[in-house]
Amino acid sequence: MKNILLLIIIIINFSCNSTVNKEGAWTDEDKDLIFKQCISEEIGINNKSIEDANEFCYCAIQEITNKFINKEAAFEEVSRNPDIKSVWYNKC
């Protein structure tokens, strides 16, 4: 009986954790949105070539997705502290 109860608890715990991770992680759509915004800014505002903007934005996406758990966390932190952008600007 204890083994069955333990097995049920493990299954429920695993199921709940996998759902939370899927909902909280970066999606491809989130990454695409950030990438498009980055390309637009780098070409339109910073006058970079398409090649330079692509190289920078691929690097920036990598840095951003490593630093923040999801898009919402990234936007929240940047809105509170715009200077945090320098973290990936300096690395890329």
pLDDT in tens, 24-60: 899 999 999 999 999 999 999 999 999 999 999 999 9
Does the residue 6 lie in any domain? no
The answer to the question of residue 51 being in a domain is yes
- Residue 32 structural domain: 26-91
Residue 36 vs residue 12, higher pLDDT: 36
pTM, to two decimals: 0.67
Tokens coding 83: 């200077």
Phi, psi dihedrals of residue 25, rounded to the nearest 5°: -85, 165
Round to whole Å and give the CA distance between 38 and 60: 8
For position 23, what pLDDT does the model report?
54
Q: Is 62 part of a structural domain of the chain?
A: yes
Domain count for the chain, please give it: 1
**5 in a domain, yes or no?**
no
